[in-house]
Amino acid sequence: MASATATGGSKSNLNVILFYVFLFLFVLVSLFPLLWVFKMSIVTKADLFQSPATTLVAPPISDNYGTIFSNPDFRRALVNSTIIAGVTTVICLFFGAICAYAIARLRFRFKSTVMTTILAISFFPAVAIIAPLFVLFSNVGLINTYWSVIITDVVFALPLTIWILVAFFKELPKDLEEAAKVDGATTVQAFRKVIVPLAAPGVFTTAILTFIFAWNEFLFANTFLFDATTQPVTVAIPNFATVYTVDYGAQSAAAVVVTIPLVILVLLFQRRIVSGLTAGAVKG
């Protein structure tokens, strides 16, 4: 009996060790490209093209970061990305919350079909509609404006916004809304003052995912925006390459700078993100 217990304990310890080994390797493989890009951003051009490549940096330099921040087009691109991603997030949350609330509360035929269609839209290949959209936006004068990218980002981000929020609104008891209405609140007031605050984890999760999607979008921005006055950072980074040379150090530094806001955003709201994704997965 004692030997069986010892055998079971040793197997359990082995499983724990294997789990942490796998976890360490997974984290290492995931972070290695990011660490390598950061390493490329703090080395000289001589070290950058050294063969074989060196793994250690001594001493690190900040010339590449000085190059990108001294570039007015890159600074403008950061502002453009913030505007595009921020407006896209606000629009998606506003219309997505209203639509998700209606789907969660109303009873109608083919609700599951509607939800499946909404989710399928987010997986539609964007490249298939670039040419028609370009012609359409050209005719209405939206080419090379923020709205050309914001509209397309909303089209692809809104379905996912609705899908996530529906799961949270479904789990909120209707008694809360009825109690608010008894106290004199309208349906809109009950939704705004009762339902939305209670669904805060889902709202935060949706907002951050939408912002990250819009911040990282490249295809539409590269197609519809032509100059530095409107281009976001995803389009500005390749501009550090010319016909004859490619400034890999500056591109790496720009990539690090672009990633930092997303990392800070996730770290600040990681608890809400985790609780939001977990609640949506378990309750939805």
Q: Clarify whether residues 111 and 194 are in a common domain.
A: yes
Residue 253 lies in a domain: yes
Q: What is the pLDDT of residue 91?
A: 95
Residue 151 lies in a domain: yes
Q: Can you say whether the dihedral through the CA atoms of 78, 71, 235, 44 is positive or negative?
A: negative
Burial of 191 (0-12, 13-18, 19+ CB in 10 A): buried
> pLDDT tens digit string along 75-106?
999 999 999 999 999 999 999 988 888 888 87
Q: What is the pLDDT of residue 198?
A: 80
Q: Clarify whether residues 86 and 116 are in a common domain.
A: yes
Residue 197: which domain range? 65-283
Q: Can you say whether the dihedral through the CA atoms of 217, 122, 162, 272 is positive or negative?
A: negative
Total domains, the chain: 2
Q: Clarify whether residues 93 and 203 are in a common domain.
A: yes
Q: Clarify whether residues 144 and 267 are in a common domain.
A: yes
pLDDT tens, residue order, the chain (284 aa): 555 555 655 667 778 888 888 988 998 888 888 888 888 888 877 777 776 666 666 667 778 888 888 889 999 999 999 999 999 999 999 999 888 888 888 787 887 888 888 878 878 888 888 989 999 999 998 999 999 999 999 999 998 888 888 888 887 777 777 787 777 777 777 877 788 788 777 788 888 889 989 999 999 999 999 888 899 999 988 888 776 778 888 888 888 888 888 888 777 777 766 665 565 454 44
Q: What is the pLDDT of residue 45?
A: 76
Q: Clarify whether residues 137 and 252 are in a common domain.
A: yes
Residue 56 lies in a domain: no
Q: What is the domain-level CATH number for residue 208?
A: 1.10.3720.10
